[in-house]
Copies of this chain bind each other. A is one copy, B any other.
Amino acid sequence: MSNTTRRDLLKGGLAVTAGLAAGKSSAGIPDPLITQVQDWATYTGDGVDATPYGMPVEYESDVIRRNVPWLTADSISSINFTPVHALDGTITPQGCAFERHHSGAIDLPKEAYRLMINGLVDTPLVFTYDEIERFPRENHIYFCECAANTGMEWAGAQLNGAQFTHGMIHNMEYTGVPLRMFLNEVGADLSSQNWIYVEGADASSNGRSIPMDKALDDCLVAFKANGEALRKEHGYPVRLIVPGWEGNMWVKWLRRIEVIDMPVESREETSKYTDVLEDGVARKWTWVMDAKSIITSPSPQSPILHGHGPLVISGLAWSGHGKIVRVDISQDGGMNWKIARLGKQQGDSKALTRFYLDIEWNGDQMLLQSRAIDETGYVQPTKEQLRQIRGENSVYHNNCIQTWHISENGSVENVEVS
């Protein structure tokens, strides 16, 4: 790797820097940043009392969640998007992690928090926040993806930016208590044919039915993300984590869990969060988020600003079915593929994987695509393949291969190839 790289780099953009060592900029102009004492070496900076809670540096103030007003009628039942185009690695800081609300983010103090578990149980119980903190805890890193992520792509290349096409995803380390411990605590009927119905404390309540086997498998009643308390907009003080399954089921401000013998068929699992096919028939119980990937840079909001030569292609891959085992990258719209370099998966199998491809860019146009393959052998489909099976009526579960067109000047556009 480092041999290739070195050759590439000396041949490429970095050759110019040889001049800099002599105090010249790449344009050959004397560079005061090298020839003179740098400004910030002449005075002292901010003291440690300046930032009790640290914020991003002003120069990065454009790396924020953004919403698209025309997508929804009202911002209290809406979405904002993670700036995936500007992030790297795998962890999403809470401050950048997308929000999706059905009736706004509510203000719920720990002292007023209650979790009731009732239904097919020996002893219905209500837990305070302090009581939840007394159960054995676990930590897991999981991705959370909204079922509607990339939904606008069904109808074509409509949103010009990875933040908007793929930004309804985040990946955090959660601290919480396995849901099975609470179900044991109340003496729930744990038979496989049973379900749980989970509700939030917000006005929408956002109720969802979850099969008992999933509830007992890896669901987590979480109160911390990336080490600190959940943010208000992510369900403070307690939310449900449903690893690998659509974000709508990760109920925020978790208020009630009812053990039932059949699903409720609530609004959120009938008129919403079902996938209408070409013939009008709707697929329901489509919970798992299938293998998917996106090239985050270069992308429309992260164009190539440097010259020819070495180019780092960076992206994210994930699967609700388990580990990502391979990611392929095409520079020609899917005709030829190269195997990407996968970063170590930090944390659990249902977490984001970062991938890279280090190439030499000669200024030619590219149709960049990435294709994820998970441990089940499932291969991320093309948009065409997905439409053949699902039509174009759905807004959910679009995990198709995304195409970015790179022009000679390095600008990037969201396009379709057929």
Q: Which residues of A contact B (CB under 8 A)?
A: 1-3, 5-6, 9-10, 12-14, 17-18, 20-21, 26, 31, 33-34, 38, 40-57, 59-60, 63-67, 69, 74-76, 78-80, 86-97, 99-101, 103-110, 112, 114, 116, 118, 123-128, 130-131, 133-141, 172-175, 178, 180-181, 184-185, 201-203, 205, 224, 226-233, 236, 253, 255, 305-306, 309-312, 314, 341, 343-344, 346-348, 354, 356, 358
8 nearest interchain CB pairs? A45-B104, A47-B75, A20-B126, A52-B64, A45-B106, A48-B80, A40-B106, A21-B124
Residues of B within 8 A of A114 (CB): 20, 31, 33-34
Chain B residue nearest in CB terms to A99: B48
Residues of B within 8 A of A306 (CB): 130-131, 134
> In the complex the two chains form, is B49's CB within 8 Å of A87's CB?
no
- 15 A-B pairs with CB atoms under 8 Å apart are A2-B180, A14-B127, A17-B131, A21-B126, A38-B255, A42-B203, A46-B76, A47-B78, A48-B65, A48-B75, A48-B76, A53-B64, A63-B228, A91-B172, A96-B228
Q: Are B139 and A90 in contact (CB under 8 A)?
A: yes
Contact between chains at A356 and B233 (CB < 8 Å): no
Q: Are B45 and A101 in touch, CB under 8 angstroms?
A: yes
Evaluate whether A173 and B91 lie within 8 angstroms (CB atoms) in the complex, with A126-B21, A136-B5, A185-B6 already known: yes
CB–CB A60/B228 < 8 A: yes
A310 with B134: CB separation less than 8 A: yes
Contacts of A346 in B (CB 8 A): 139, 141, 173, 346-347
From known contacts A21-B124, A40-B202, A118-B21, infer whether A14 and B74 are also in contact, taking CB-CB under 8 Å.
no
The residues of B that contact A236 with a CB separation of less than 8 Å are 57, 59
**Distance between A136 CB and nearest chain B CB, rounded to angstroms:** 5
Tell me whether A41 and B201 are in contact (CB under 8 A): yes
Q: Contact between B356 and A137 (Cβ–Cβ < 8 Å)?
A: yes
Whole-angstrom distance from the CB of A38 to the nearest CB of chain B?
Answer: 6
| A181 with B2: CB separation less than 8 A | yes
Contact A107 B312 (CB under 8 A): no
A107 CA to B38 CA, complexed, in Å = 12
Given contacts A65-B54, A203-B44, A343-B139, contact A49 B228 (CB under 8 A): no
**Residues B185 and A9 in contact, CB atoms below 8 Å apart:** yes
The answer to whether A63 touches B33, judged by C-beta atoms less than 8 angstroms apart, is no
A66 touching B52, Cβ below 8 Å: yes
Docked complex Cα distance between A26 and B12 (Å): 70
Q: Are A14 and B185 in contact (CB under 8 A)?
A: yes
A358 CB, nearest partner CB in chain B, Å = 5
Task: Verify A232–B46 contact, CB threshold 8 A.
Answer: yes
